[in-house]
Copies of this chain bind each other. A is one copy, B any other.
Amino acid sequence: MSEKKFNSTNTLNEFYLEERCTLNKVLKINGKRWVSEVLILIKQDVSRFSNLNECLNGISDNVLSSILNELVKSKLIEKEIFHQVPLRVEYHITPGGLALTKVMHELCDWGKEYIDYEMRMKPTFTRQDPNY
């Protein structure tokens, strides 16, 4: 959480790319680790902080927290606070978020066809196999 330097080439390149094509803005949001998993879980009605935390083995509180904030800011999810005791907060997907999960699903299908392809075609290793 250190300061962002606005004059670094890094930041200038980021601006340049966001200007160049909307796609880079999209990837800026959902290209980061955990983000798409969180979004998909929320779509599947895993709506509370603690539940999301349980589902995502290894995510740390602060990372989950900042991702949720980002998703709210980008209007992919909505935050609803219930002033009960103990406090209860729910996150729900917006139409925009839902539309995004559909494209993500296609991206996933692409991966299944083209990335996992090699693996599907490779014969299973045997002990005789020098690659075993």
**What residues make up the interface of A, taking CB atoms closer than 8 Å to B?**
9, 12-14, 16-17, 20-27, 29-34, 36-37, 57-59, 74-75, 96, 99-100, 103-104, 106-108, 110-117
Q: Is the Cβ of A31 less than 8 Å from the Cβ of B34?
A: no
Given that A12-B58, A16-B57, A58-B16 are contacting pairs, would A26 and B75 also be in contact in the complex, using a CB cutoff of 8 Å?
A: no
Q: Is the Cβ of A104 less than 8 Å from the Cβ of B23?
A: yes
Given that A96-B114, A111-B26 are contacting pairs, would A33 and B17 also be in contact in the complex, using a CB cutoff of 8 Å?
A: yes
Report, nearest first, the 3 A-B pairs whose CB atoms are least far apart: A31-B31, A22-B111, A23-B108
For the complex, what is the distance from the CA of A75 to the CA of B117, rounded to whole Å?
A: 11
Q: Is the Cβ of A21 less than 8 Å from the Cβ of B58?
A: no
CB-defined contacts of A24 to chain B, threshold 8 Å = 33, 36-37
Given that A33-B17, A58-B16 are contacting pairs, would A26 and B107 also be in contact in the complex, using a CB cutoff of 8 Å?
A: yes
Q: Is the Cβ of B31 less than 8 Å from the Cβ of A27?
A: yes
User: Distance in Å from the Cβ of A125 to the closest Cβ of chain B?
Assistant: 18
Q: Is the Cβ of B12 less than 8 Å from the Cβ of A36?
A: no
Q: Is the Cβ of B17 less than 8 Å from the Cβ of A108?
A: no
User: Distance in Å from the Cβ of A126 to the closest Cβ of chain B?
Assistant: 23
Q: Is the Cβ of A25 less than 8 Å from the Cβ of B100?
A: no
Given that A24-B37, A31-B32, A58-B12 are contacting pairs, would A100 and B96 also be in contact in the complex, using a CB cutoff of 8 Å?
A: no
